């Protein structure tokens, strides 16, 4: 209840800040929407000019891609900003304040990281999923939602790791940049890439769980052993995120502000 109060208060502050620059907010969302429709646009052109992407009909691809935008959008809306905001706070000495507040740092950072600029991305993702034209079956839908949850948890764990990097190394712009470029691999199905890439995006940096495996689960293409492995990977990645964050908090040395 207290957590919800903190979250709502921060949401209110963020709303005020965002609305101070309304045109900027509108343009920002427009630019995100335009960049988000690039990959579906290329996919549509591929289906227009060729038999298509192997193993995927256009509808299936759109469900996959809508999921991708939705999960990245949700992460960007709720918790991904905590990484770069923490980097900034550590640099100017504001991070110390978070450590002395009567709320756990991980919870504080999670609840106060909303970025309203990403709302358009969340809505666009949902729209693409709903308009993809795939038929929703209750069992497949529940499997899809389960893996969607896994994808969100993976992104949350990644946010914790990036935040930890910001606490430990301060100047982490380059690490963020690498993650965004690696994130481009999530824009197309993992099945297109060679085995080392598939391994990397399943076991090392499980971006496959962001959209590929949820879509595969939706179409009933996952075997039970794979399902269990993926759930285990999600749990381990989350645990790793928490452990790394705890380690970073213990190793934190103030900037002296």
Partner 1 sequence: MKRWGLAKAIASNAMAYKLDFVLWAILPPLQIAVYYFLWVSVYKYGGLEYVAGYSLNNMITYYVLSIVVGALTWVGIEEEIEEDIVSGNMIQKMTKPMSVGEYFFFENIGYKLLAVPLIVVPTLLLGYLLFGAQLTSFPNLLLFSLFSLIAMVMNFLLSLTVGALAFWMKKIHSLVRLKRTAFFLLSGGLFPLELLPTGVRALFDLLPFKYLLYVPIKAYFGEVGVEHFLLSLGWVLFTYLCYKLIWRRAYKQFKGVGV
Residues of this chain that bind partner 1 (CB under 8 A): 21, 23-25, 27-28, 30-31, 34-35, 38, 41-42, 45-46, 48-54, 174, 177-178, 181-182, 184-185, 187-188, 192-194, 197
Spatial separation of the C-alpha atoms in residues 38 and 29, rounded to whole Å: 15
- 32 or 160: whose CB is closer to partner 1? 32
Question: Among residues 176 and 252, whose Cβ is nearest to partner 1?
Answer: 176
- Give the residue with the Cβ less far from partner 1, 5 or 177: 177
| CB-CB contact of 245 with 160 (8 Å) | yes
CB of 238 to partner 1, least distance (A): 26
DSSP symbols for 129-160: HHHS-PPP-HHHHHHHHHHHHHHHHHHHHHHH
- Structure-token pair, residue 97: 């304040």
Cα Dmax for the chain: 61
**Residue 15 or 21 with smaller CB distance to partner 1:** 21
Are 150 and 230 within 8 A, CB to CB?
yes
Q: Where are the beta strands (DSSP E) in the chain?
A: none
Q: Which CB, 31 or 97, lies closer to partner 1?
A: 31
The span from the first CA to the last CA of the chain, in angstroms, equals 32
């Amino acid at each position: 209840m207290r957590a919800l109060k903190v979250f709502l208060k921060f949401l209110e502050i963020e709303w005020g800040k965002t609305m101070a620059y309304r045109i900027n907010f509108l343009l920002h969302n427009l630019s995100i929407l335009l960049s988000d429709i690039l990959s579906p646009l290329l996919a549509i052109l591929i289906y227009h000019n060729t038999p298509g992407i192997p193993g995927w009909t256009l509808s299936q691809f759109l469900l996959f891609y809508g999921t991708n935008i939705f999960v990245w959008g949700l992460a960007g809306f709720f918790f991904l900003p905590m990484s770069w905001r923490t980097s900034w706070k550590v640099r100017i000495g504001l991070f110390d304040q978070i450590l002395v507040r009567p709320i756990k740092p991980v919870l504080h950072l999670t609840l106060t990281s909303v970025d309203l600029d990403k709302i358009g991305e969340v809505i666009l993702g949902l729209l693409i999923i709903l308009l993809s034209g795939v038929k929703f079956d209750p069992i497949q839908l529940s499997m899809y939602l389960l893996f969607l949850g896994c994808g969100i948890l993976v992104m949350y764990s990644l946010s914790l790791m990036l935040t930890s990097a910001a606490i430990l190394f301060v100047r982490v712009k380059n690490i963020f940049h690498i993650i965004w470029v690696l994130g481009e691999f999530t824009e197309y199905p993992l099945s297109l890439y060679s085995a080392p890439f598939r391994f990397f995006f399943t076991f090392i940096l499980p971006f496959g769980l962001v959209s590929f495996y949820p879509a595969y689960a939706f179409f009933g293409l996952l075997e039970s052993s794979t399902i269990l492995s993926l759930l285990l990977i999600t749990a381990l990645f989350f645990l790793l995120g928490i452990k790394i964050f705890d380690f970073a908090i213990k190793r934190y040395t103030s900037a002296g502000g």
